[in-house]
Amino acid sequence: MLKTGILTFQKSLNYGSALQAWALQEKLRALGADAELIDYTPDHYADLYGYLRRVRSAADLRYDLGNLPFIPLLRRRKKAFQSFWDQRFRLSEQKYAYPETPERLNDRYEAIICGSDQIWSSRAKDADVNFFLPIGHKAKKISYAPSLNDGSIADFSPAEDYRRYLSDFDCLSVREADAKADIEAFLGGSREIAVLPDPTLLHPKEAFEKIAEPSGLTGEYLLFFSVNYNRTTVRAVKTVARRTGLPVYFYFTGSNAKRTARENKDFHLIRDRLSPACFLDAVKNASMLVCDSFHGTAFSVIFEKPFFCIARQAENGGAKRDARICGLLEQLGLSDRFISEVDAETVDLETPIDYTGATEKRMAMAEYAETWLRDALS
């Protein structure tokens, strides 16, 4: 197969981003591709993952003051992620960084795969134009399951430029059906676009068990996994924890984790063993997971755990549908695991999930995606 570069969020200090990057790298290599992750630093990376901001406003000052007590933890997290990258990623020798356009990639790769993760989301702060490969390429251009989240391709401008970038792809796929409809409308229905699963869903749980490392968590516990720590989700977690009697553990995955730690003294912030490999072990051994994130949902399913996804509150006070989470749960026949804060008080917490059908459906999705990848790279 072709010499292949993968352009994704491989540097993000984010558990889902790191593990989907590894998962796609490993799947491509298992299919026979000479694949590696392109060592790319996107726009706004320093703003997203720096310990402190340059103070230009009162908000920046408040952010820095709030971060100060957590800097030792953030340093341990960065070191843990770096160790995982060094051990598990096959990175390109050349480094690239925004605003450089990736013209040099033409000389190194026969195919370039953009994806997965939210590289095409207008809401993702580390997404930039280079994830669309905005120049003429000799290499084959392929998108594998990028997500728009709740954004739209039409959010990017100039629109004609992005139509040209997308039309230049040899093979197009996205992660959600909503994204497929959005891009088809943007391109005027002129392209065939596949809907493919996140790379993490292409592997059986045994593949992740092989790279897991001890998390240090013992006994029964509820693992709370979020990125935004919406207060609606936090209240639902407290309800489930009260009903089950399970202690709550959570990772520092976003700036609102600071507020969650301050306001919920009965929650346990995980301060050591912070690598993605340790996160896998924490998921595997959890008694239950409660989340509001896509990859929290994905790994709950992969490890066949009891779990619930909490809907965010819509403007009208009802539950807001999350296209990424709901789309996956609908595909797997697990839509009843998506609940509201109110539902957390009454939902059945005892009946185990029958994963037989869900896992069969997931592996069928993986088989279809493998065939698509082989064809794309042929």
Tens digit of each residue's pLDDT (9 = 90 or more) over 217-237:
999 999 999 988 999 999 999
Confidence check: pLDDT of 200 > 80: yes
pLDDT band, very low/low/confident/very high, at 316 (cuts 50, 70, 90):
low
Asked whether the bond before 247 is cis by omega within 30 degrees of 0, the reply is: no
Greater confidence (201 vs 100) lies with 201
Sign of CA dihedral 7, 13, 16, 18: positive
Averaged confidence pLDDT in the chain: 94
Per-residue pLDDT band at 370 (split at 50, 70, 90): very high
Task: Give DSSP secondary structure letters for 161-193.
Answer: HHHHHHHT-SBEEESSHHHHHHHHHHTTT-S-E
Residue with tokens 């590289």: 119
CA 316 to chain centre: 28
Domain 3-202+364-377, second-level architecture = 3-Layer(aba) Sandwich (3.40)
Q: By three-state DSSP, how is residue 3 classified?
A: strand
pLDDT tier, 270 (very low <50, low <70, confident <90, very high otherwise): very high
- Categorize the per-residue pLDDT at 315 as very low, low, confident or very high, splitting at 50, 70 and 90: low
In three-state secondary structure terms, 75 is helix
Q: What is the CA radius of gyration of the chain?
A: 20
pLDDT digit string, tens, across residues 56-109: 899 889 888 888 999 999 999 999 999 999 999 999 999 999 988 777 787 899
Choose among 1, 26, 2, 5: nearest CA to 200. Answer: 26
Mean pLDDT of 308-315: 86
Cα distance between residue 23 and residue 27, in whole Å: 6
Is 245's pLDDT higher than 90?
yes
* Percent of the chain predicted with pLDDT > 70: 99
Q: Give the integer Cα–Cα distance in Å for 242 and 261.
A: 17
Q: How far apart are the first and last CA of the chain?
A: 7
The tokens for 277 are 């490999």
Please tell me if the domain spanning 3-202+364-377 has the same topology as the one spanning 205-347. Answer: yes
User: What pLDDT was estimated at residue 163?
Assistant: 96
% the chain with pLDDT above 90 = 83
- Which pLDDT tens digit goes with each residue over 124-160? 989 999 999 997 778 999 999 999 998 999 999 999 9
Handedness of CA 163, 167, 169, 171 (dihedral sign): positive
The CATH label, of 3.40.50.2000, 3.90.380.10, 1.10.3720.10, 3.40.50.1000, for the domain at 205-347 is 3.40.50.2000
> Which tens digits make up the pLDDT trace of 342-361?
999 999 999 999 999 999 99
Residue 248: what residue type?
Answer: V
Q: Is this model's pTM higher than 0.85 or not?
A: yes
- Would you list the domain boundaries of the chain? 3-202+364-377, 205-347
For residue 249, which phi and psi values (nearest 5 degrees)? -120, 145
Is the per-residue pLDDT at 254 higher than 90? no
Which residues lie across from 338 on neighbouring strands? 309
The CA distances from residue 340 to 79, 297, 311, in Å, are 36, 15, 5
